[in-house]
């Protein structure tokens, strides 16, 4: 594992980076940057720029109060968990109010929410709400009637005094419900379609000895609960892709991995890149304001294997591709339009990215620039296997940012797949990718050997024949002398 870098940048370097930022002339209220192959900051054009913001007052329903989550459906409806107001606010993607959900009928009686902090909407419009301070998950049908309540889960792996306090919720294509619960370090709680607790997902396994396994087998339930495996992480955000893989973010004080992709068995199968580590910022202070590793609070799964996460420590959005490459970074804390006080959730609205700011009690949207659009398109084309078109997009990216190493690597990989090994070597070297450069070099060397095999064999035959002739001449001379 690489030694962690700390943010102690001398004044002269900071000034140079400032001039570099100005050179790109992106009029945004935050720095936009990435990291090079050495792990150093390289400033870039902005991939996304602020577009607009929306508050409850803009909708005519009074200000949101400490909203904690929101969700955008495929057909463009936005559901906001207005936590402090104990309600769910529904709008169109054009920010027109549709309805406010603050109560429902439960066994013939009116029921409501208490600090709802998580929300998810299924394809068939069932609304799942993490009704936090009521210690339950409430699922409503599209017409507002009650579909299901998940509360007070029971299992031998749960302590007798366990209090179910759901904070985030998502549902996969098989109607399995996944819940991030407060203080639950064993993993994400998984429930079947009937609402029964089945297992933990994303649990970090700790190796135990055979003796410990035997002891656990014969121990009581109370003893087993006291001997729970230590899980050095707490989950913070959750989303699910169309294939049923759960993407989750977790607290990571070391900055090594704050994102996981969990299969139906709960195993982490995410593709990681040792260069980026899926932990947000690679460089950070240990002391002072906004110090420490990035605190990734939420995640949104986008198209073509792309996903974005939001860091509440420094207000930044990090976007990765399906191979774990860091594509771009933008956002920041502040009081200007386009900056945050406390970002807690992230979603996508068509091609835009939207972030919920809990302290400012508003949703901010960001639109993609030409730079961001080209990167997204290039990654998508490569994801679909269309390497030729991806090369053209990467070359356009390089016209806007000649330091973008991933573009060089993308072009190099495309040429490598096409058998153009010499060209692949050129671009992979510029992209500082040792692994694929080595592959290209070996293939190029084999190409040279293959193309010149006839000449090489002819040369070998000539050398052998010449050696044979010289040997016979020498032998004949020795015989004449004798």
Domain boundary among 368, 395, 423: 368
First to last CA, the chain: 74
Query: Are residues 233 and 106 located together in one domain of the fold?
Result: yes
Query: Are residues 422 and 343 located together in one domain of the fold?
Result: no
Residue 286: exposure state from Cβ atoms within 10 A (0-12, 13-18, ≥19): exposed
Query: Are residues 400 and 301 located together in one domain of the fold?
Result: no
pLDDT value at position 284? 86
3-state secondary structure 254-311: CCCCCEEEECCCCCECCCCCCCCCCCCCCEECCCCCCCCCCCEEEEEECCCCCEEEEE
Q: Which of 190, 173, 179 is nearest to 122 (CA)?
A: 173
Query: Are residues 133 and 53 located together in one domain of the fold?
Result: yes
**Residue 142 in contact with residue 125, Cβ under 8 Å?**
yes
Q: How far apart are CA 299 and CA 243, in angstroms?
A: 16
Query: Are residues 332 and 408 located together in one domain of the fold?
Result: no
Q: How far apart are CA 341 and CA 177, in angstroms?
A: 31
The verdict on residue 377 lying in a domain is no
pLDDT value at position 19? 38
Q: Please, which residues have CB within 8 angstroms of residue 199's CB and are 6 or more apart in sequence?
A: 190, 266
Q: Which tokens is 477 given? A: 């001379």
Q: Is 78 helix (H, G, I), strand (E, B) or coil?
A: strand
The verdict on residue 465 lying in a domain is no
Domain count, the chain: 2
Domain hosting residue 181, numbered range:
5-368
Domain boundary among 368, 401, 433: 368
The verdict on residue 374 lying in a domain is no
Query: Are residues 205 and 92 located together in one domain of the fold?
Result: yes
CATH number of residue 327's parent domain:
2.120.10.30
Q: How many CB atoms lie within 10 A of CB 133?
A: 13
Q: How far apart are CA 101 and CA 89, in angstroms?
A: 6
Q: How far apart are CA 280 and CA 331, in angstroms?
A: 12
**Residue 384 in contact with residue 337, Cβ under 8 Å?**
no
The verdict on residue 376 lying in a domain is no
Query: Are residues 446 and 347 located together in one domain of the fold?
Result: no
Q: How far apart are CA 129 and CA 122, in angstroms?
A: 11
Q: How far apart are CA 45 and CA 31, in angstroms?
A: 9
In this structure, the strands spanning 87-91 and 127-131 are unpaired
pLDDT value at position 274? 80
List average pLDDT for each run of 10 residues in the chain, which is 482 residues long: 40 38 62 93 97 95 98 96 98 95 96 98 96 98 96 91 96 95 92 95 61 59 50 82 94 88 93 88 84 93 97 96 96 94 97 97 97 98 91 96 95 90 92 90 80 62 69 66 63
Query: Are residues 125 and 32 located together in one domain of the fold?
Result: yes
Query: Are residues 319 and 288 located together in one domain of the fold?
Result: yes
The verdict on residue 308 lying in a domain is yes
Read off the pLDDT of residues 75-114 as tens digits, 9 standing for 90 and up: 999 999 999 999 999 999 999 999 999 999 999 999 999 9
**Residue 367 in contact with residue 53, Cβ under 8 Å?**
no
The verdict on residue 167 lying in a domain is yes
Read off the pLDDT of residues 194-218 as tens digits, 9 standing for 90 and up: 999 999 998 755 445 455 556 556 6
Q: What's 38's DSSP letter?
A: T
**Residue 136 in contact with residue 149, Cβ under 8 Å?**
yes
The verdict on residue 463 lying in a domain is no
The verdict on residue 15 lying in a domain is yes
Query: Are residues 402 and 309 located together in one domain of the fold?
Result: no
Q: Which tokens is 306 given? A: 């792309």
**Residue 368 in contact with residue 91, Cβ under 8 Å?**
no
Q: Which of 385, 384, 381 is nearest to 396 (CA)?
A: 381
**Residue 444 in contact with residue 429, Cβ under 8 Å?**
no
Report which secondary-structure segment, H or E, holds 225.
Answer: helix 221-226
Query: Are residues 415 and 352 located together in one domain of the fold?
Result: no
Query: Are residues 291 and 331 located together in one domain of the fold?
Result: yes
Domain boundary among 315, 341, 368: 368
Report which secondary-structure segment, H or E, holds 212.
Answer: helix 210-218
């Amino acid at each position: 594992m690489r030694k962690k870098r700390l943010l102690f940048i001398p004044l002269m370097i900071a000034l140079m980076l400032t001039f570099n930022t100005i050179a790109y002339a992106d009029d945004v209220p935050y720095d936009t940057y990435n990291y090079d192959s050495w792990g150093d900051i390289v400033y870039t054009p902005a991939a996304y720029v602020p577009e607009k913001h929306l508050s409850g007052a803009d909708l005519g329903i009074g200000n949101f109060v400490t909203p904690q989550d929101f969700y955008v459906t495929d057909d463009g409806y936005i559901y906001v968990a207005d936590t402090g107001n104990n309600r769910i606010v529904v709008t169109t993607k054009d920010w027109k109010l549709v309805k406010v959900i603050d109560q429902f009928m439960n066994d013939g009686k009116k029921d409501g929410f208490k600090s709802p902090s998580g929300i998810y909407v299924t394809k068939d419009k069932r609304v799942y709400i993490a009704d936090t301070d009521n210690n339950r998950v409430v699922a409503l049908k599209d017409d507002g009637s009650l579909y299901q309540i998940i509360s007070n889960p029971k299992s031998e792996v749960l302590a007798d005094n366990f209090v179910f306090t759901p904070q985030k919720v998502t549902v996969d294509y098989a109607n399995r419900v996944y819940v991030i619960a407060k203080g639950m370090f064993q993993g994400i709680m998984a429930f079947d379609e009937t609402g029964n607790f089945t297992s933990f997902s994303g649990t970090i396994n700790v190796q135990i000895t055979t003796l410990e396994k035997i002891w656990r087998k014969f121990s009581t339930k109370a003893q087993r609960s006291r001997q729970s495996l230590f899980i050095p992480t707490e989950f913070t955000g959750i989303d699910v892709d169309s294939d049923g893989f759960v993407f989750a973010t977790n607290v990571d004080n070391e900055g090594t991995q704050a994102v996981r992709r969990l299969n139906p068995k709960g195993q982490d199968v995410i593709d990681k890149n040792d260069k980026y580590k899926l932990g947000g910022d690679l460089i950070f202070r240990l002391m002072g304001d906004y110090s420490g590793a990035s605190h990734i609070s939420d995640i949104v799964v986008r198209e073509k294997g792309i996903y974005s996460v939001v860091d509440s420590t420094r207000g930044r959005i990090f976007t990765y591709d399906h191979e774990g490459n860091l594509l771009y970074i933008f956002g920041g804390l502040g009081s200007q339009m386009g900056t945050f006080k406390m970002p807690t959730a992230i979603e996508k609205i068509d091609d835009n990215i939207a972030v919920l700011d809990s302290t400012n009690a508003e949703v901010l949207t960001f639109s993609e620039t030409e730079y961001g659009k080209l990167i997204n398109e290039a990654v998508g084309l490569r994801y679909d296997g269309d390497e030729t078109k991806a090369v053209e997009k990467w070359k356009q990216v390089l016209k806007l940012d000649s330091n973008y190493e991933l573009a060089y690597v993308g072009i190099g990989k495309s040429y490598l797949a096409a058998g153009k090994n010499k060209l692949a070597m050129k671009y992979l070297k510029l992209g500082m990718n040792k692994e694929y450069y080595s592959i290209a070099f070996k293939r190029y060397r084999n190409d040279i050997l293959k193309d010149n095999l006839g000449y090489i064999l002819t040369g070998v035959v000539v050398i052998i024949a010449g050696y044979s002739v010289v040997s016979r001449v020498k032998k004949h001379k020795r015989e004449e002398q004798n």
